[in-house]
């Protein structure tokens, strides 16, 4: 075997492979017995032979990837022999002639089952109307319901792919980064792998929005010296106090991740300088025997709040009620030196291990035979979703996504049983959480003895009694306010039971509507409608309309664009109002769009066959990407658009990179929101600046004042981002203007 490999691998390659294997070997601790180490070596030699001569995009021998994944599984997640072997072998069945039977014969049934869960589906097994990405993910989760190690190894696989993403083509980078952000980072969070989740988020941002990532990284680096000084000043009295109490501890500063800083800037609408909790201080202590960890943690909290004043609404107790992923800690935000708020996290060594290594550490401390955990209950919910045969893979992915990443609240039943739900959950979500029949027949609830409707948003600590009626049935309107995947899937299931009836009803409704516009229901027309709704075929379109998930009046509005006269079409072209609605109008060129090359956005969209997405309203100069529809048309989205994230995660093969040329003639409607301190003449100053700029035209100006504060909205026609940024910079210099924000949605 060795001789065969040496012919295919250079000495430099062999040295590199040996270095990587040595790194893996050094990660083994007392968990791995001598017998285990021998089994791992056997797996490595087998995989090295199977992948011999194959290279990665970076030019490295392919075997480097499985070894690196195994290293992450061993050193960063802390799994054992079976998982390390499965990680080494995870691409053998997919990329070589070896089969799962070979895996089972050589390495046992457990390893074979995990490798099967990690092996992607081949094209012939992928239903035509489903996204390949979504179908593969569903298959992987089916194995998760038997063995969670599949997902843990898949996360390690994704982490190594993200660490080596620079060798991939730009459109592949976008697809992989968005998929990582949409599914894998939340999944790592849900399984308690905070270090991996943070790195996945940061790397995704690095490839999706490199300029933003580098700017935040530079700002953090430039403030390092001042930050280190503040940390030392802050922790000095805490160290002295804890040492005097005889507590064994380790105290360190933890910087907020680049992605979480960016995310906070987006969601809160604040600048980098306005984020007050850039820094957190972590205290990890060794608990004394015979005293509860909870009591000792609160003693430390008490010592800290004697030194620094706490922010009353920022004390979080995750020890009394741990998070669903097993996370335990006490968090408190206190006023530190120089008037800065600082978050302090208090954990025992056990809590810290669970926080960093999540699921694996959780079971190491609790043991396999421990009582059912929140994590087990979450896996049970996933099994329920997988057992719904009606949902297609894309729908499943959406439902699964809803089970991730949400802040949790604690609710009580009338008998005092505790139930965890995502923040923003409603009465109907709670009813379905308890039992499907309770949800199906729910007419309202009593919360703390007060009557509330099914749509009422519940709050942490509520005690809820569900009220039912035998005549009540699931209502399509419920889907508008339901937040949990379980409730949504149960309501949809109720409507899908009569699938044939819905299909026929939807077909009749669409054909009737087409008749009104004298349009025949040709396959071309139906293709354009399915593309508009991001569906895969006409059957899905008919079913969605028949079940009421798509409003027939929406279709009427789309079809109206076909009947526009030439003047109206010219007006739309002149002022950048062309959007995804107009896809039905386009005379599509025969020329196929090459996904591997960057799509150039020219000033005349009909020349290059593109339209601008309504959801995020990109304008020339924005950082954008393209989504290739089934009829060879490109819809342009901003890279940070949530709809684009979803498309990249579910239909990444249709994503292309896009760049603007210089736009000078066409204008684009853009909405700005302003606020600040009102004074005489401020509105005329704002409008004067806009009117003096030749390349910007006003459509609508609205201002409202109350209690000395003004709020305003400007609807402007703008050529490109440079002109917009220039305008914002000028307006910010006006005395009294405090904040200007560009709004994504433009409601006409």
Segments of the chain assigned to CATH 3.30.460.10: 216-366
Position of tokens 């009591």? Answer: 295
- In whole angstroms, give the CA distance from residue 264 to residue 318: 22
CATH superfamily of the 668-743 domain: ACT domain (3.30.70.260)
706: part of which helix (H) or strand (E)? strand 696-706
pLDDT score of 241: 93
Characterize 572-581 residue by residue with b for buried, 16 or more Cβ atoms within 10 angstroms of its Cβ, and e for exposed: bbeebbbbbb
Residue 438 has a pLDDT of: 92
- Residue 650 Ramachandran class (φ > 0 left, ψ -120 to 50 alpha, else beta): alpha
How far is Cα 534 from Cα 130, in angstroms, rounded to an integer?
Answer: 11
Pick the CATH number of 216-366 from 2.40.110.10, 3.20.20.70, 3.30.460.10, 3.40.50.720: 3.30.460.10
CA distance 395 to 646: 12
Residue pair 241/711 in contact (Cβ under 8 Å)? The answer is: no
Angstrom distance (rounded) from CA 77 to CA 328:
18
Output the CA–CA distances (angstroms, integers) from residue 58 to 23, 61, 424, in the order listed.
20, 9, 45
DSSP string across 53-100: T-B-TTSSBTTHHHHHHHHIIIIII---HHHHHHHHHTTHHHHSS--H
Query: Does the structural domain 388-492 have CATH classification 3.10.20.30?
Result: yes
Decide: 206 and 222 in contact? Cβ < 8 Å. no
* Per-position b or e across 414-444, b if 16+ CB within 10 A of its CB: eeeeeebbbeebbbbbbbbbbebebbbbbeb
- The whole-angstrom separation of Cα 670 and Cα 744 is 8
User: HSE of 359 in the Cβ direction (CA atoms, 13 Å)?
Assistant: 24
Its pTM stands at 0.71
Q: What phi and psi, each to the nearest 5 degrees, are found at residue 687?
A: -70, -35
Angle at 404 between CA 399 and CA 407, to 5 degrees: 125
Helix (H, G, I), strand (E, B) or coil at 123: helix
CB atoms within 10 A of CB 519: 15
Residues 493-497: contacts with CB within 8 Å, 24+ apart? Answer: 493/388, 493/390, 493/391, 494/440, 495/547, 495/548, 496/390, 496/543, 496/547
Do the beta carbons of residue 451 and residue 400 sit within 8 Å?
Answer: no
Strand (E) or helix (H) holding 431? helix 427-434
3 state DSSP class of 175: helix
Mean pLDDT by 10 residues, the chain (748 residues): 54 87 85 88 91 82 92 88 92 86 90 83 41 65 67 90 89 86 82 87 92 89 84 91 92 88 81 76 92 93 93 86 81 85 91 77 52 60 60 58 63 85 89 91 88 91 90 86 84 73 82 80 77 72 79 67 42 39 40 75 70 82 83 82 78 82 77 87 87 79 86 87 87 87 66
Q: Which of 94, 166, 376, 738 is catalytic?
A: 94
HSE-CB of 739 using CA atoms within 13 angstroms: 13
Interatomic CA distance for residues 139 and 149, integer angstroms: 14
Q: How far is CA 719 from CA 621, 660, 663, 690, in A?
A: 9, 12, 6, 14
Rounded Cα distance between 214 and 595, Å, is 27
| CATH 1.10.3210.10-classified regions of the chain | 2-167
CA pair distance 748, 744, nearest whole angstrom: 13
CB count within 10 Å of CB 592 equals: 8
The H or E element spanning position 738 is strand 737-743
95 is catalytic: yes
Q: How far apart are CA 517 and CA 501, in angstroms?
A: 25
Q: Under 8 Å CB-to-CB from 576, ≥6 apart: which residues?
A: 612, 619, 666, 667, 668, 669, 717
Question: Cα dihedral sign for 614, 619, 620, 623?
Answer: negative
Residue 409: DSSP 8-state: E
Strands 341-348 and 279-286, bridge-based pairing = parallel
State which H helix or E strand residue 700 sits in: strand 696-706
Q: Which of 38, 95, 306, 508 is catalytic?
A: 95
Output the six-digit token pair for 163.
Answer: 């660490």
Question: How far, in Å, CA of 37 to CA of 35, rounded?
Answer: 5
Helix (H/G/I), strand (E/B), else coil: 336: coil
Give residue 262's Cα distance to chain centre. Answer: 14
The closest alpha carbon to 666, from 717, 622, 621, belongs to: 717
Q: Which CATH superfamily is domain 2-167 in?
A: Hypothetical protein af1432 (1.10.3210.10)
Q: Do β-strands 341-348 and 330-335 pair in parallel, antiparallel, or remain unpaired? A: antiparallel
β-bridge mates for residue 660, sequence order: 601
Longest dimension (CA), the chain: 87
Pair 52, 5: CB distance under 8 Å = yes
Residue indicated by tokens 């949800």: 439
Segments of the chain assigned to CATH 3.10.20.30: 388-492
Burial 329-347 (b: 16+ CB within 10 A, else e): bbbbbbebeeeeebbbbbb
Q: Which residues pair with 412 in a beta bridge?
A: 418, 463
Closest by CA to 621, choosing from 734, 727, 747, is 727
Establish whether 299 is a catalytic residue. no
């Amino acid at each position: 075997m060795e001789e065969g490999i040496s012919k295919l691998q250079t000495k430099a390659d062999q040295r590199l492979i040996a270095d990587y294997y040595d790194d893996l070997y050094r990660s083994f601790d007392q968990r791995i017995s001598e017998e285990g180490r021998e089994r791992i070596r056997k797996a490595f030699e087998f995989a090295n032979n199977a992948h011999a001569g194959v290279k990665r995009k970076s030019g490295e021998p392919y075997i480097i990837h499985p070894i690196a994944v195994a290293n992450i599984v061993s050193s960063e997640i802390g799994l054992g022999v079976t998982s390390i072997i499965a990680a080494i072998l995870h691409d053998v069945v997919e990329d070589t002639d070896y089969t799962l039977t070979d895996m089972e014969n050589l390495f046992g049934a457990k390893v074979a089952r995990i490798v099967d869960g990690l092996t992607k589906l081949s094209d012939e097994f992928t239903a035509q109307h489903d996204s390949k990405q979504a179908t593969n993910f569903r298959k992987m989760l089916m194995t998760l319901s038997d063995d969670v190690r599949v997902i843990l190894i898949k996360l390690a696989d994704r982490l190594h792919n993200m660490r080596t993403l620079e060798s991939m083509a730009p459109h592949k980078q976008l697809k992989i980064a968005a998929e990582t952000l949409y599914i894998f980072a939340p999944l790592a969070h849900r399984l308690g792998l905070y270090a991996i989740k943070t790195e996945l988020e940061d790397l995704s941002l690095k490839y999706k929005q490199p300029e933003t990532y580098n700017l935040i990284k530079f700002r953090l680096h430039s403030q390092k010296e001042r930050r280190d000084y503040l940390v030392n000043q802050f922790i000095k009295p805490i160290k002295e106090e804890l040492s005097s109490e005889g507590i064994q501890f380790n105290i360190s500063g933890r910087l907020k991740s680049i992605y979480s800083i960016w995310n906070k800037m987006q969601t809160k609408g604040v600048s980098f300088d306005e984020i007050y909790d850039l820094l957190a201080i972590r205290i990890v202590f060794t608990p004394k025997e015979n005293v509860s960890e909870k009591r000792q943690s609160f003693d430390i909290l008490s010592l800290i709040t004697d030194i620094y004043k706490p922010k009353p609404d920022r004390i979080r107790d995750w020890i009394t009620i741990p998070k669903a992923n097993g996370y335990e800690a006490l968090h408190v935000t206190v006023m530190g030196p120089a008037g800065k708020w600082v978050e302090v996290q208090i954990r025992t060594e056990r809590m810290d291990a669970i926080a960093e290594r999540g699921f694996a550490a959780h079971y190491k401390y609790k043991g396999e035979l421990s009582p059912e955990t929140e994590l087990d209950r979450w896996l049970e919910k996933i099994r329920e979703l997988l057992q719904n045969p009606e949902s297609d893979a894309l729908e499943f992915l959406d439902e699964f996504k809803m089970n991730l990443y949400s802040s949790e609240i604690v609710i009580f039943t009338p008998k005092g049983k505790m139930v965890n739900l995502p923040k923003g959950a409603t009465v109907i979500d709670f009813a379905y959480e308890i039992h499907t029949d309770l949800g199906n027949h729910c007419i309202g609830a009593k919360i703390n003895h007060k009557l509330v409707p099914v749509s009422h948003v519940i709050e942490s600590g509520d005690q809820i009694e569900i009220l039912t009626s035998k005549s009540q049935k699931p209502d399509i309107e419920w889907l508008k306010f339901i937040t949990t995947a379980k409730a949504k899937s149960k309501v949809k299931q109720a409507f899908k039971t009569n699938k044939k009836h819905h299909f026929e009803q939807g077909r009749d409704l669409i054909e009737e509507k087409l008749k009104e516009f004298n349009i025949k229901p040709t396959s071309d027309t139906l293709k354009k409608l399915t593309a508009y709704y991001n569906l895969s075929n006409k059957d899905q379109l008919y079913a969605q309309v028949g079940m009421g998930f798509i409003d027939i009046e929406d279709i009427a509005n789309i079809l109206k664009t076909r009947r526009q006269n030439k003047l109206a079409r010219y007006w739309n072209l002149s002022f950048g109002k062309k959007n995804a609605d107009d896809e039905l109008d386009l005379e599509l060129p025969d020329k196929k769009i090459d996904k591997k090359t960057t799509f150039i956005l020219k000033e005349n969209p009909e020349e290059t066959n593109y339209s601008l997405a309504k959801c995020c309203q990109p304008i020339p100069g924005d950082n954008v990407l393209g989504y290739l529809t089934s009829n060879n048309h490109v819809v342009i989205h901003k890279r940070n658009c949530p709809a684009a994230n979803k498309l990249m995660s579910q239909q990444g093969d249709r994503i292309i990179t896009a760049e603007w040329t210089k736009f000078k003639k066409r204008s684009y409607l853009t909405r700005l929101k302003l606020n600040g301190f009102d004074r005489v003449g401020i509105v005329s100053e704002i409008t004067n600046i806009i009117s003096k700029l030749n390349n910007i035209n006003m459509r609508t100006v609205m201002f409202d004042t109350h209690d000395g504060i003004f709020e305003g909205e400007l609807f402007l026609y703008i050529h490109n981002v440079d002109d917009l940024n220039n305008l914002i910079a000028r307006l910010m210099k006006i005395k009294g203007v405090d904040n200007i924000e560009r709004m994504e949605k433009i409601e006409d």
